[in-house]
Chain A
Amino acid sequence: MLRFESVNKIYKTRRHQVTGLNDVNIQIAPRDFVALVGPSGSGKTTFLVTAGAMLRPTSGKVYLDGHDICAAAPNTLAELRLKKIGFIFQTFNLITYLSARQNVMAALMLAGKSPLEQEKAADQLLERVGLADRADHKPSELSVGQQQRVALARMLANDPPLILADEPTGNLDPQTSADVMDFLTTLNKEHGKTIVMVTHSMEAAKRAKRIITCNNGIIQAAEG
């Protein structure tokens, strides 16, 4: 599903160079559920955005379902993100002036679905995350947990095979965190989704099939 070959990412500022990824060689198979753990600044998020075709590495190759991300044109990368990747953000990143339904519809719109198809699919997805009765509410009218569930529904809109989650439970209370982790586990086990999750929570990490540790841009498989 995802393969990193000698990937380096160096951030250059005027005075300093910061290593984001240091000779990363890793392969993530379909249906895998990987948790990336490590201290802040260790390269977790860099790994995630590189895997998500949002950041080009300084050197090396990244393959997503056989596509060389580093060589692809911006529009091809957008297409890849649309069809193959679902993002979950720590801060949910819902569009504030759109209702829950409209947020999900926006993702469906990008896939070229008609407004009618969007509405129908959005209602089904919101029902799936238990928010059918909150479809017309704006994010500010929803609890933090509900907002994350809207984000989950939006992530599933285009049925992506790969889910990239950036601290999905970072802003949630323990119960909601557990619910979100249950949801992700189900997606992995029952729907065959490949999940790469960045987390600081060891409790969440333990729900993954394997944990990978990041440190100073060096990524090592710790548990399998």
Chain B
Amino acid sequence: MTPYKIALLELSERKHQLTTSLMAVTLGIAAIVSVQTIAMRSAIEVAHQVDALGANIMILPKSATIDDYYKADLSSDQFSIPESYVDKILFAKDEEGLEGVDNLSPKLSVPLELGGRKFTLTGILPKNEFMAKAAWSGGVFDTPTACASDRKSIVEFNVAERLRRKPIDTLAPDHCLVGADLAELMKLTKGSTTEMLGKTFTVVDVLPKTGTVDDGRAFAHLHTVQKLANKGRVINAIEIVGCCNAIAGGLVDKLNKLLPEAKVVTISQIVATQRTTNQLMHNLTIVFLIVIILVGGASIANYMYANVYERRREIGTLMALGAKASLISKLFLFKALVLGVGGGVLGSILGTVMAVILGPKIAHIPVMPIPELMGLGLLLSLLISLLASFLPARRAAKTDPCVAIQEI
């Protein structure tokens, strides 16, 4: 015989009370685990979608607006920033933990006239540019690894496209890429040549149509464009792929502090959506957390207090036989432990099953189990059970052993 065996035998004798308390904890934990599982999956999904859009932060000259950027109207000298800003961000990323910057793409746009039409020649740093432009790449590059969207499904979605195309790591000084509209208008194809700003370029690829201003642009190496435009080491903008979660977590503020001379803008609507979704789910989880703590805790405390009251003669008898107060506490805390583990395991499983079944119907996303959440559910259940049983266990330990002799 051990104290734990006594506790287990006692629990098994009171199946109805045990079931009721267990159910309260189980349902509470199930509610938390299911909501949190859906919320986390939903947040990952939203974050992924935002990340998949490509660059979502722009670093522009102080006097420029995002409209100027999209109109490619940044050719004036006042709309330039030093190229060294790129190093500043890269350096901060490595040394000071500027987390959430997954790719940056410095750009210098200059006006261009081809065949009597006005276009824009944009200088880019090749691989960075492509990695930042997920909309172009169609999955040429993996999604940023550090982002919340570290999920393979979208990448897998574009497997065919990825195989068809190869990433372009370098762009030679006389190579260029042309947007779909520009290629069509100027009848440019892969391998053809064209003259821009007095220099002959070979078209190494025609970019697929994106429906953005990029369709009407030509892209050459940044340093080549800088030379042709006689602008020195300056750029007009730095496009950044910031992880959605990092943007919501204050990445823009950090960049603003890092580059006080520049203007940091973000696609605020997308971030706001993410923030709202996350906040809603977060609030919902807090509500459930309060409910489970109150209902589950009260149910267990009630069960334990009733148990202590009903078992007071038994406690008194054990004390008369020589049991110390600590052993009596242990008996009741062990019961709480059993309830906590039982409720935690059942609740986590039930919650996960609910999330997997209901998630696609409620949030319209596929929901996979999150093992860490199941572990947290178990931990929470244990914590609630033990906390709710602390006072009843203490009361049990303080039982007057004389009740063993008194008529009850």
* Contact status of A78 and B319, CB under 8 A, knowing A105-B1, A118-B1: yes
B260 at the interface (CB under 8 A from A): no
CA distance A81 to B404 in the complex (A): 13
B261 at the interface (CB under 8 A from A): no
* Beta-carbon contacts under 8 Å, B180-222 to A: none
By beta carbon, the residue of chain A nearest B13 is: A97
CA distance A85 to B401 in the complex (A): 14
Contact A98 B6 (CB under 8 A): yes
A166 at the interface (CB under 8 A from B): yes
By beta carbon, the residue of chain A nearest B314 is: A95
Contact B319 A83 (CB under 8 A): no
A41 at the interface (CB under 8 A from B): no
Contact B13 A110 (CB under 8 A): no
* Beta-carbon contacts under 8 Å, B327-359 to A: 327
CA distance A54 to B321 in the complex (A): 11
By beta carbon, the residue of chain B nearest A79 is: B322
CA distance A107 to B317 in the complex (A): 10
Shortest A135–chain B CB gap in Å is: 13
Contact B13 A74 (CB under 8 A): no
Which residues of chain A are near B325, meaning CB under 8 Å?
Answer: 74-75, 78
By beta carbon, the residue of chain A nearest B328 is: A78
B161 at the interface (CB under 8 A from A): no
* Contact status of A49 and B402, CB under 8 A, knowing A89-B317, A106-B321: yes
Q: Among B1, B317, B319, B400, which residue has its beta carbon within 8 angstroms of that of A108? A: B1
Which residues of chain A are near B322, meaning CB under 8 Å?
Answer: 78-79, 81-83, 85, 107, 110-111, 158
Contact B317 A54 (CB under 8 A): no
A217 at the interface (CB under 8 A from B): no
Contact B3 A166 (CB under 8 A): no
B93 at the interface (CB under 8 A from A): no
B2 at the interface (CB under 8 A from A): yes
A194 at the interface (CB under 8 A from B): no
* Beta-carbon contacts under 8 Å, B1-30 to A: 1-3, 6, 9-10, 12-13
Which residues of chain A are near B316, meaning CB under 8 Å?
Answer: 93
* Contact status of A89 and B323, CB under 8 A, knowing A98-B6, A109-B3, A115-B1: no
The total of chain A residues at the interface (CB under 8 A) is 36
Contact A102 B402 (CB under 8 A): no
Contact A81 B321 (CB under 8 A): yes
Interface of B is mostly: helix
CA distance A182 to B90 in the complex (A): 95
Interface bits B294-329 vs A (CB < 8 Å: 1, else 0): 000000000000000000011011111111110100
Contact A110 B320 (CB under 8 A): no
Which residues of chain B are near A54, meaning CB under 8 Å?
Answer: 319-320, 400-402, 404-405
CA distance A97 to B402 in the complex (A): 22
Shortest A108–chain B CB gap in Å is: 7
Which residues of chain B are near A158, meaning CB under 8 Å?
Answer: 322
CA distance A9 to B405 in the complex (A): 17
Contact B318 A87 (CB under 8 A): no
The total of chain B residues at the interface (CB under 8 A) is 28
Contact A107 B319 (CB under 8 A): no
CA distance A107 to B327 in the complex (A): 13
Contact B321 A89 (CB under 8 A): no
CA distance A155 to B291 in the complex (A): 48
CA distance A107 to B125 in the complex (A): 82
CA distance A158 to B323 in the complex (A): 13
CA distance A95 to B323 in the complex (A): 14
CA distance A206 to B13 in the complex (A): 42
Contact B404 A110 (CB under 8 A): no
Shortest A29–chain B CB gap in Å is: 23
Contact A45 B324 (CB under 8 A): no
Interface bits B346-379 vs A (CB < 8 Å: 1, else 0): 0000000000000000000000000000000000
By beta carbon, the residue of chain A nearest B401 is: A54
Contact A102 B321 (CB under 8 A): no
Contact A98 B402 (CB under 8 A): no
Which residues of chain B are near A166, meaning CB under 8 Å?
Answer: 405
Contact B401 A106 (CB under 8 A): no
A55 at the interface (CB under 8 A from B): yes
Which residues of chain B are near A107, meaning CB under 8 Å?
Answer: 321-322
Beyond A48-B405, A49-B405, A110-B323, 20 additional contacts (C-beta under 8 Å) are A54-B402, A54-B405, A74-B324, A74-B325, A79-B322, A82-B321, A83-B322, A87-B317, A89-B404, A89-B405, A95-B314, A97-B10, A98-B9, A106-B1, A106-B6, A109-B3, A110-B321, A110-B327, A158-B322, A166-B405
The 7 closest A-B pairs by CB, nearest first: A82-B322, A105-B1, A97-B13, A93-B317, A54-B401, A109-B1, A78-B324
Interface residues of A (CB under 8 A from B): 45, 48-49, 52, 54-55, 74-75, 78-79, 81-83, 85, 87, 89-91, 93, 95-98, 102, 105-111, 115, 118, 154, 158, 166
Chain A to chain B contacts (Cβ below 8 Å), 10 pairs: A54-B405, A75-B324, A93-B317, A95-B314, A102-B9, A106-B318, A106-B321, A109-B2, A109-B3, A111-B322
